[in-house]
Amino acid sequence: MIKRVAIVEDDKGLREQLALVLKTAADVECVAAYGSAEEALKCIEAARPDVVLMDINLPRMSGIECVAKLKEIMPSVQIIILTVYEDSERIFHALRNGASGYLVKSSPPEKLLEAITDVTQGGSPMSTHIARKVVQHFHMVGPALEEEQYPLSPREQEVLELLAAGYIYKEIGDKLSIATETVRTYVKHICQKMHVKNKTEAVAKSNLTR
C-alpha cells in the first residue's frame, strides 16, 4: 500500500529536499507540499494525505497550532513533527494537539522513511532524544503522583471510579451487583486509607478524570 504524504515547511530548499527523499521510496508518494500553515489548511483536504510532515517554525501560525486544526478537519491523518527544537514545552504541546511522531530535522533520510511507515502502522516514531524528554516527564510526574498512592483494593478502586463519575451509592451497588451498604463500607475504607474527609476529597486526590 502506497502512503500519501504531504509536506508543510516554509523553507523552499528544505521542502524540495524532503520531497526528493520521499521520491526515493517506492511505497511513498508526495502528494503535496505547502509553504505555510494557512495554505496547508486550505488545500490539504483535496490532497488526501495519509501522513503529514510538519515543520514547527512556520510564519504566522505555528506548526503546533496547525496540527490541532489539521486534526480537526482530518482526524485520521497521521502527523510527524520535523523540527530543530527539542524543548519539552513544544514537544508536549504538539503531542497533545494530536501529533503522532516527532523527529529532529537532522534525522537521516532512512529514519524519515521508516517513520512514515511506522506511523501508518500504529507506531509513534520519535528521535531518541525526544523520547527521553517524554520519559523524563514520567520520571517527574510519576513519583509525584505515585508516592502518594494508597493501597486501595481493586474493589475499592472500582468504587472510587464510579464515585468520580457522579453515581450515588445505590447506582454503584447496582452496577457492581453488591448491596448499597457494602458500597458505603468501601467508601468508609477509601476515606480512611486516603486520609480524607469525604468521597469528594477522595476523588479529587485520586486524580480521576475519566
What span, in angstroms and rounded, lies between the C-alpha atoms of 141 and 144? 5
Residue 132 interacts, among a copy of itself, DNA, none and using kind-specific CB cut-offs from 5 to 8 Å, with: a copy of itself
Q: Binder to a copy of itself among 53, 97, 159, 183 (CB under 8 A)? A: 97
Contact between 109 and a copy of itself (CB under 8 A)?
Answer: no
Residue 151 interacts, among DNA, a copy of itself, none and using kind-specific CB cut-offs from 5 to 8 Å, with: DNA
Identify whether the C-beta of residue 87 lies closer than 8 Å to the C-beta of residue 75: no
Least distance (Å) between residue 48 CB and a copy of itself: 23
C-alpha cell, 37: 500553515
Contact between 164 and a copy of itself (CB under 8 A)?
Answer: yes
Q: Binder to DNA among 155, 175, 205, 208 (CB under 7 A)? A: 155
Q: Binder to DNA among 62, 114, 185, 208 (CB under 7 A)? A: 185
| Of the candidates 74, 73, 24, the residue with the CA atom closest to the CA atom of residue 50 | 74
- Quick one: 96 or 188, whose CB is closer to DNA? 188
